[in-house]
Amino acid sequence: MGRPSPIQDRKLPAGRPMASAVPYLTAAVILFILPLVLPSYYLSVLTMILIFGLFAMSLNIIFGHTGLNSLGHAAFFGMAGYIAGISIVTYGIKSFWISTPLALAGAAVTAAVFGVIALRVSGVYFLLVTFALGQLLWTIAEKWYSVTMGRSGFVGIPAPDLGISLLDLGTPVRFYYFVFVIFALCYYLMARLHRSPFGYALQGIRERESRMSALGYNVWLYKYIAYIVAGVFAGVGGILYAHFNGSIAPSHIGFSNSALVMLMVILGGAGTLWGPVLGAALIVLIQSFASLVVPARWPLILGILFVVGVMGFRGGIGPHMVKRVRRIFSSGSYQS
Amino acid sequence: MIATNEVSFRVDAGGRLVIIGPNGAGKSTLFNLLNGQLMPDAGNVFFFGQDVTRLPLHRRAHMGMARSFQLTSLFPELSVLENMMLALHGLRSSRFNPWRATLSYWNLLDKAEELLSLLDLWSKKDDQVHMISYGEQRKLEIALCLASSPRLLLLDEPSAGLTSDERLAVMEIIRKLPPDIAVIIVDHDMDLVFGLANRIIVLHYGQIIAEGTPEEIQADPRVKEVYMGMEEEKT
């Protein structure tokens, strides 16, 4: 073999892989044990957190990493949810292994088409175009009654049928573990992406687009691929949600859902990996409690939450927490 | 508006061409035309015999054209090393890899160490770019350009805002560049201009008013006129 790399010995960026595994393992263990002790209502909240956490992470690929402010991300979430539901209920495609690829392909094609249109502009215009495209789908979902069942939503979507009797997902606990496994898998894939040359290229584009071109990157192509990838991951969230809820409605494809997921990302910390999951957890938790106690006040609470989050935790709650923890650990090591 | 008007020149491999001229002479516009940031309304850009006038920036980069920017144009939230890795992946097919960690390409890390050490930046490799000094950012700017092993290097005011020590260091780096690459520099610092150039072009209001060796330029009456005029305006 060749000479040993001088950098290899130096343990470049200070032993990240091993140290970072600890919080992940802890989180995984907690998420694994929780459903065994949680009452069923809280189990459904936890399932929602994972689904929306996944959805928020997908938006983060374009919003946080690439710097594309999309206000139509629910389009892919809703599109996949509708296709999954319609293919199962209307067309009788029972198998999860067929309905899901169909739905994901639908989300990917939608993103591929929307991307061509939206990526012709940038900045606030991108925001407006994605918003308009999302509303277009929302209108279709609401008006095309014969296919989508209109305003009240498409109902009757069963639990996923994996075709293996041992893996019957009929109970909430089993469905939770199913969501958990898919969430973990998607998280892992997005984490790899984040640290890969492709992921760094996206961050470079966020920070200095013209320089990236000068370095040899085809900026448009990167944005386009990122947009489609984000759309597919959002689609995974949408499919899980459709199965979980048993229904999917126009509101899931339209502006309110797009805005909600954007708040999750901003609140949790755009550009970080797990910040959006934290943001999703916070919003889903507060939403579920608010809907029990003061259902009519949810928009007000959401508004306050957002203002406090943006003013008190600039850059998101996630990064603030990391800083705090680092400070505790580093001061500890100085004393010892 | 015509910022650059009927400018025609060539630079050969190994050439060290310096473009000078008063502010607003069209130097940066010329650079933008050369590397593809702007498309000319008329005229052509040839790169080693190939017409690249209509090629986008990133394609020209792949052909071996690198450029530094007058206003520092780095990735401020990323570390020095991550900046370097972006530049190193830029011309390799690995830039599309969504799976392998970018900091696990040992051969590129070696290259990054080599270049960062050359520019005295290796000790700063883990610092975020917005944390390092302006002079260090200027040096990193040059390091990013060198990462692609370019055939043509465009340096837009490499010495702007540097202390005299840093200026000397930058000159030393440019002098040590491989002799076969062509370098075009825009700068105001006369020590740097006459210390490095083997050919000088003087731009004024978008037109070439003089071209020649450093000695010829120093003796040219029109150049003196332009710069004398500036001196008078200042006083």
**A282-305 residue pLDDT tens:** 999 998 888 888 878 888 888 888
For residues B153-159, average pLDDT: 89
What tokens appear for B126 in the block? 């883990």
User: Does residue A2 fall inside a structural domain?
Assistant: no
What residues in A contact B144, CB-CB < 8 Å? 211, 215
Which residues lie across from A248 on neighbouring strands? A154
What residues in A contact B126, CB-CB < 8 Å? 13-14
- The dihedrals phi and psi of A305, each to the nearest 5 degrees, come to -55, -45
What residues in A contact B96, CB-CB < 8 Å? 197-198
B144, A215: Cβ pair inside 8 Å? yes
**Test the A interface: residue of B35, B55, B58, B104 with most A CBs within 10 Å:** B58
What single-letter amino acid sits at A110? T
Dist CA A73 CA A76 (whole Å): 6
What tokens appear for B220 in the block? 């040219």
Using one digit for the tens of pLDDT, what is the confidence trace for B173-213?
Answer: 888 888 888 999 998 888 888 888 889 998 888 888 888 88
What residues in B contact A12, CB-CB < 8 Å? 81, 103, 109
Quick one: pLDDT at residue A1? 38
pLDDT for residue A89 is more than 80? yes
Cβ contact A29:A158 at 8 Å: no
For residue B121, the distance in angstroms to the closest alpha carbon of chain A comes to 15
pLDDT for residue B7 is more than 50? yes
> Closest chain B residue to A222 measured between Cα atoms?
B96
Dihedral angle over CA of B112, B114, B120, B124, nearest 10: 30
Architecture of domain B16-234: 3-Layer(aba) Sandwich (3.40)
Cβ contact A104:A80 at 8 Å: yes
Strands A154-155 and A247-248: antiparallel
- Residue in the structure block whose two tokens are 């489609």: A228
- The dihedrals phi and psi of A218, each to the nearest 5 degrees, come to -85, 95
Strands B16-20 and A247-248: unpaired
- The dihedrals phi and psi of B182, each to the nearest 5 degrees, come to -90, 140
Residue ranges of chain B whose CB lies within 8 Å of a chain A CB: 35-37, 56-58, 61-62, 66-67, 69, 73-79, 81-82, 85-87, 89-91, 94-103, 105-106, 109-110, 113, 126, 144, 147-148
The burial class, CB within 10 Å (0-12 / 13-18 / 19+), for B194 is middle
Dist CA A250 CA A153 (whole Å): 6
DSSP category for residue B50: E
> Closest chain A residue to B65 measured between Cα atoms?
A214
For residues A96-117, average pLDDT: 96
pLDDT for residue B40 is more than 90? no
User: Does residue A211 fall inside a structural domain?
Assistant: yes
B35, A214: Cβ pair inside 8 Å? yes
DSSP category for residue B66: E
Using one digit for the tens of pLDDT, what is the confidence trace for A40-50?
Answer: 899 999 999 99
Quick one: what percent of chain A has pLDDT higher than 90? 64
B98, A193: Cβ pair inside 8 Å? yes
For residue B63, the distance in angstroms to the closest alpha carbon of chain A comes to 9
Tell me: ipTM over 0.90.
no
Q: Lowest-pLDDT range, A145-154, A172-181, A242-251?
A: A145-154
The burial class, CB within 10 Å (0-12 / 13-18 / 19+), for B130 is exposed
Strands B152-156 and A247-248: unpaired
Across the interface, which of B35, B86, B126 has its CB nearest the CB of A200? B86
Residues in chain B: 235
**Test the B interface: residue of A211, A219, A223 with most B CBs within 10 Å:** A211
A201 in contact with chain B, both atoms CB, cutoff 8 A = yes
Quick one: what percent of chain B has pLDDT higher than 70? 94
B90, A198: Cβ pair inside 8 Å? no
Domain ranges (residues) in chain B? 16-234
B69, A200: Cβ pair inside 8 Å? no
A208 in contact with chain B, both atoms CB, cutoff 8 A = yes
Quick one: pLDDT at residue A18? 57
First and final C-alpha spacing in chain A:
42
Dist CA A2 CA A53 (whole Å): 44
- Closest C-alpha to A35, from A176, A240, A245, A187: A176
Q: What is the domain count for chain A?
A: 1
Across the interface, which of A6, A208, A218 has its CB nearest the CB of B58? A218
Quick one: pLDDT at residue B235? 42
DSSP category for residue B95: G
- Closest C-alpha to B55, from B24, B34, B31, B70: B34
User: Does residue A232 fall inside a structural domain?
Assistant: yes
Q: Coil, strand, or helix at residue A5?
A: coil
What tokens appear for A327 in the block? 């400070």
Dist CA A32 CA A26 (whole Å): 10
Residue B180: CB partners within 8 Å, gap ≥ 6? B13, B14, B151
For residue A52, the distance in angstroms to the closest alpha carbon of chain B comes to 23
Domain boundaries, position A67 = 39-335
**Using alpha carbons only, how large is chain A's radius of gyration in Å?**
21
Q: Which of the four pLDDT bands, split at 50, 70 and 90, describes residue A216? A: very high
Question: Which segments of chain A are extended strands (E)?
Answer: 154-155, 247-248
Chain centroid offset of residue A39 CA:
25
pTM (2 d.p.): 0.89
A3 in contact with chain B, both atoms CB, cutoff 8 A = no
Domain holding A284: CATH number?
1.10.3470
For residues B4-33, average pLDDT: 82
Cβ contact A259:A71 at 8 Å: yes
Mean pLDDT of chain B: 86
Cβ contact A210:B31 at 8 Å: no
Dist CA A313 CA A269 (whole Å): 9
Across the interface, which of A5, A213, A215 has its CB nearest the CB of B87? A215
Cβ contact A88:A243 at 8 Å: no
Across the interface, which of A6, A13, A211 has its CB nearest the CB of B110? A6
* Number of Cβ atoms within 10 Å of the Cβ of B48: 12
Dist CA A281 CA A268 (whole Å): 9
Quick one: pLDDT at residue B166? 85
What tokens appear for B34 in the block? 């050369």
- Range A222-255 burial, b when 16+ CB lie within 10 A, else e: bbbbbbbbbbbbbbbbbbbbbbbbebbbbbbbbe
Dist CA B183 CA B143 (whole Å): 14
Q: Coil, strand, or helix at residue B202?
A: strand
Cβ contact A111:A227 at 8 Å: yes
Cβ contact A238:A79 at 8 Å: yes
